[in-house]
Amino acid sequence: GDKAFAQFLTDEIKEEKKIQKHKTLPKVSGGWELEVHGTEAKLVRKIAGEKITVTFNINNSIPPSADDEPQEGQKADEQEPDLTSTPNFVVEVIKDDTKQTLVLDCHYPEDEVGHEGEEESDIFTIREVSFQPTGESDWKDTNYTLNTDSLDWALYDHLMDFLADRGVDNTFADELIELSTALEHQEYIKFLEDLKSFVKCQ
Protein backbone atom coordinates (compact mmCIF):
# COMPACT_ATOMS: atom_id res chain seq x y z
CA GLY A 1 0.00 0.00 0.00
CA ASP A 2 2.78 2.42 0.89
CA LYS A 3 4.45 1.92 -2.47
CA ALA A 4 1.29 2.88 -4.32
CA PHE A 5 0.86 5.85 -1.97
CA ALA A 6 4.42 7.05 -2.64
CA GLN A 7 3.90 6.68 -6.38
CA PHE A 8 0.65 8.64 -6.19
CA LEU A 9 2.44 11.41 -4.27
CA THR A 10 5.26 11.52 -6.82
CA ASP A 11 2.73 12.07 -9.62
CA GLU A 12 0.78 14.56 -7.56
CA ILE A 13 3.93 16.62 -6.81
CA LYS A 14 4.76 16.65 -10.52
CA GLU A 15 1.25 17.90 -11.38
CA GLU A 16 1.28 20.57 -8.68
CA LYS A 17 4.68 21.85 -9.81
CA LYS A 18 3.33 22.06 -13.34
CA ILE A 19 0.48 24.37 -12.31
CA GLN A 20 2.60 26.38 -9.87
CA LYS A 21 2.34 29.99 -11.01
CA HIS A 22 5.24 31.40 -9.03
CA LYS A 23 8.58 29.71 -8.55
CA THR A 24 9.49 32.52 -6.17
CA LEU A 25 7.01 34.40 -4.02
CA PRO A 26 5.46 37.44 -5.70
CA LYS A 27 6.46 40.83 -4.29
CA VAL A 28 4.01 43.23 -2.72
CA SER A 29 4.47 46.71 -4.18
CA GLY A 30 4.99 49.75 -1.98
CA GLY A 31 8.17 48.84 -0.17
CA TRP A 32 6.89 46.05 2.05
CA GLU A 33 9.47 43.64 3.43
CA LEU A 34 8.43 40.04 3.75
CA GLU A 35 9.35 37.63 6.52
CA VAL A 36 8.04 34.07 6.39
CA HIS A 37 8.04 31.63 9.29
CA GLY A 38 6.41 28.40 8.16
CA THR A 39 2.77 29.20 7.44
CA GLU A 40 2.92 32.67 8.97
CA ALA A 41 3.96 35.65 6.91
CA LYS A 42 4.66 39.17 8.02
CA LEU A 43 4.91 42.28 5.83
CA VAL A 44 6.65 45.29 7.32
CA ARG A 45 6.77 48.85 6.08
CA LYS A 46 8.20 51.94 7.76
CA ILE A 47 6.94 55.42 7.00
CA ALA A 48 7.63 58.70 8.77
CA GLY A 49 7.54 57.93 12.48
CA GLU A 50 5.49 54.76 12.05
CA LYS A 51 5.98 51.09 11.53
CA ILE A 52 3.18 49.12 9.88
CA THR A 53 3.13 45.35 10.05
CA VAL A 54 0.65 43.04 8.40
CA THR A 55 0.57 39.45 9.61
CA PHE A 56 -1.34 36.51 8.16
CA ASN A 57 -1.32 32.75 8.35
CA ILE A 58 -2.08 30.59 5.33
CA ASN A 59 -3.55 27.73 7.36
CA ASN A 60 -7.28 27.39 6.67
CA SER A 61 -7.10 30.33 4.30
CA ILE A 62 -8.75 28.65 1.33
CA PRO A 63 -12.50 29.16 1.53
CA PRO A 64 -14.52 25.95 1.09
CA SER A 65 -15.74 25.79 -2.50
CA ALA A 66 -19.49 25.84 -2.83
CA ASP A 67 -19.74 23.30 -5.63
CA ASP A 68 -17.18 20.55 -5.51
CA GLU A 69 -18.84 18.73 -8.36
CA PRO A 70 -17.10 19.30 -11.71
CA GLN A 71 -19.25 21.25 -14.14
CA GLU A 72 -20.93 19.47 -17.03
CA GLY A 73 -18.42 18.47 -19.65
CA GLN A 74 -15.49 19.39 -17.47
CA LYS A 75 -12.95 16.92 -16.22
CA ALA A 76 -12.43 17.06 -12.49
CA ASP A 77 -8.79 18.08 -13.00
CA GLU A 78 -9.60 21.20 -14.95
CA GLN A 79 -11.05 22.89 -11.91
CA GLU A 80 -8.16 22.33 -9.59
CA PRO A 81 -5.75 25.26 -10.05
CA ASP A 82 -8.29 27.91 -9.15
CA LEU A 83 -7.85 27.66 -5.41
CA THR A 84 -7.32 31.10 -3.92
CA SER A 85 -6.03 31.77 -0.46
CA THR A 86 -7.81 34.65 1.28
CA PRO A 87 -6.41 34.73 4.81
CA ASN A 88 -7.54 36.99 7.61
CA PHE A 89 -4.82 39.52 8.23
CA VAL A 90 -3.90 41.74 11.14
CA VAL A 91 -2.57 45.25 10.59
CA GLU A 92 -0.56 46.81 13.41
CA VAL A 93 0.31 50.49 13.32
CA ILE A 94 3.05 51.44 15.76
CA LYS A 95 3.90 55.10 16.25
CA ASP A 96 7.44 55.74 17.42
CA ASP A 97 6.47 58.02 20.27
CA THR A 98 3.60 56.09 21.89
CA LYS A 99 3.52 52.93 23.92
CA GLN A 100 0.40 51.75 22.13
CA THR A 101 -0.15 49.84 18.94
CA LEU A 102 -3.35 50.21 16.95
CA VAL A 103 -4.43 46.75 15.83
CA LEU A 104 -6.92 46.24 13.02
CA ASP A 105 -8.22 42.78 12.33
CA CYS A 106 -9.17 42.47 8.65
CA HIS A 107 -10.68 39.78 6.51
CA TYR A 108 -11.96 39.06 3.02
CA PRO A 109 -15.74 38.62 3.02
CA GLU A 110 -16.49 35.43 1.13
CA ASP A 111 -19.05 36.93 -1.23
CA GLU A 112 -16.86 39.86 -2.21
CA VAL A 113 -13.92 38.02 -3.70
CA GLY A 114 -14.02 37.79 -7.45
CA HIS A 115 -16.56 40.54 -8.12
CA GLU A 116 -14.50 42.68 -10.43
CA GLY A 117 -15.94 45.76 -11.98
CA GLU A 118 -17.53 47.04 -8.79
CA GLU A 119 -15.24 49.98 -8.32
CA GLU A 120 -16.77 51.15 -5.11
CA SER A 121 -16.61 48.09 -2.95
CA ASP A 122 -13.56 47.26 -0.88
CA ILE A 123 -12.30 43.73 -1.23
CA PHE A 124 -11.51 43.47 2.45
CA THR A 125 -13.23 44.65 5.59
CA ILE A 126 -12.09 45.63 9.07
CA ARG A 127 -13.63 43.35 11.66
CA GLU A 128 -12.15 44.57 14.92
CA VAL A 129 -10.00 47.41 16.17
CA SER A 130 -8.15 47.62 19.47
CA PHE A 131 -5.13 49.14 21.18
CA GLN A 132 -2.46 46.82 22.48
CA PRO A 133 0.68 47.62 24.45
CA THR A 134 3.58 47.92 21.99
CA GLY A 135 6.09 45.12 22.07
CA GLU A 136 4.06 42.69 24.15
CA SER A 137 3.48 39.39 22.44
CA ASP A 138 0.45 38.50 24.53
CA TRP A 139 -2.49 40.72 23.86
CA LYS A 140 -4.84 41.31 26.71
CA ASP A 141 -8.48 40.37 26.53
CA THR A 142 -9.09 43.14 29.01
CA ASN A 143 -8.31 45.80 26.40
CA TYR A 144 -11.39 47.25 24.75
CA THR A 145 -12.01 45.77 21.32
CA LEU A 146 -14.24 47.65 18.93
CA ASN A 147 -16.32 45.39 16.75
CA THR A 148 -17.15 47.10 13.45
CA ASP A 149 -20.54 45.40 12.97
CA SER A 150 -22.35 48.17 14.75
CA LEU A 151 -19.99 50.98 13.86
CA ASP A 152 -20.88 54.42 12.57
CA TRP A 153 -20.14 54.33 8.81
CA ALA A 154 -18.26 57.62 8.85
CA LEU A 155 -15.88 56.29 11.50
CA TYR A 156 -15.46 53.06 9.55
CA ASP A 157 -14.65 54.98 6.36
CA HIS A 158 -12.05 57.02 8.22
CA LEU A 159 -10.45 53.82 9.48
CA MET A 160 -10.32 52.44 5.92
CA ASP A 161 -8.77 55.73 4.72
CA PHE A 162 -6.31 55.58 7.60
CA LEU A 163 -5.21 52.15 6.35
CA ALA A 164 -5.12 53.26 2.71
CA ASP A 165 -2.85 56.17 3.62
CA ARG A 166 -0.46 53.58 5.03
CA GLY A 167 -0.49 51.44 1.93
CA VAL A 168 -3.17 48.97 2.96
CA ASP A 169 -5.73 49.38 0.20
CA ASN A 170 -7.44 47.25 -2.45
CA THR A 171 -4.26 46.95 -4.51
CA PHE A 172 -2.42 45.74 -1.44
CA ALA A 173 -5.24 43.34 -0.58
CA ASP A 174 -5.15 41.92 -4.12
CA GLU A 175 -1.40 41.43 -3.97
CA LEU A 176 -1.73 39.84 -0.55
CA ILE A 177 -4.13 37.25 -2.01
CA GLU A 178 -1.60 36.57 -4.77
CA LEU A 179 1.25 36.22 -2.26
CA SER A 180 -0.76 34.10 0.12
CA THR A 181 -1.95 31.80 -2.67
CA ALA A 182 1.63 31.31 -3.89
CA LEU A 183 2.84 30.68 -0.34
CA GLU A 184 0.01 28.23 0.34
CA HIS A 185 0.80 26.32 -2.85
CA GLN A 186 4.50 26.25 -2.03
CA GLU A 187 3.77 24.87 1.46
CA TYR A 188 1.35 22.32 0.00
CA ILE A 189 4.01 20.98 -2.38
CA LYS A 190 6.51 20.87 0.48
CA PHE A 191 3.94 18.97 2.55
CA LEU A 192 3.45 16.42 -0.25
CA GLU A 193 7.23 16.00 -0.51
CA ASP A 194 7.55 15.51 3.26
CA LEU A 195 4.67 13.05 3.19
CA LYS A 196 6.33 11.13 0.39
CA SER A 197 9.63 10.77 2.26
CA PHE A 198 7.68 9.83 5.39
CA VAL A 199 5.74 7.10 3.59
CA LYS A 200 8.88 5.76 1.89
CA CYS A 201 10.84 5.68 5.14
CA GLN A 202 11.08 2.09 6.33
Tens digit of pLDDT for each residue in 2-46?
Answer: 899 999 999 999 999 999 888 889 999 999 999 999 999 999 999
81 or 175, which is more confident: 175
Tens digit of pLDDT for each residue in 115-163?
Answer: 444 455 889 999 999 998 887 666 667 789 999 998 899 999 999 999 9
Nearest of 96, 87, 80 to residue 18 by alpha carbon: 80
Segments of the chain assigned E as strands:
33-37, 40-47, 50-57, 89-95, 100-107, 125-133, 145-147
Predicted TM-score (pTM) of this structure: 0.84
**E strand or H helix at 7:** helix 2-19
Residue 74 confidence (pLDDT): 44
- Report all structural domains of the chain as residue ranges with CATH numbers, in order of start: 1-59+83-110+118-200 (3.10.280.10)
Q: What is the DSSP letter of 108?
A: -
Q: Alpha-carbon distance 77 to 66, whole Å?
A: 17
Q: Please classify residue 76 by burial: count the beta carbons closer than 10 Å to its beta carbon, then call 0-12 exposed, 13-18 middle and 19+ buried.
A: exposed
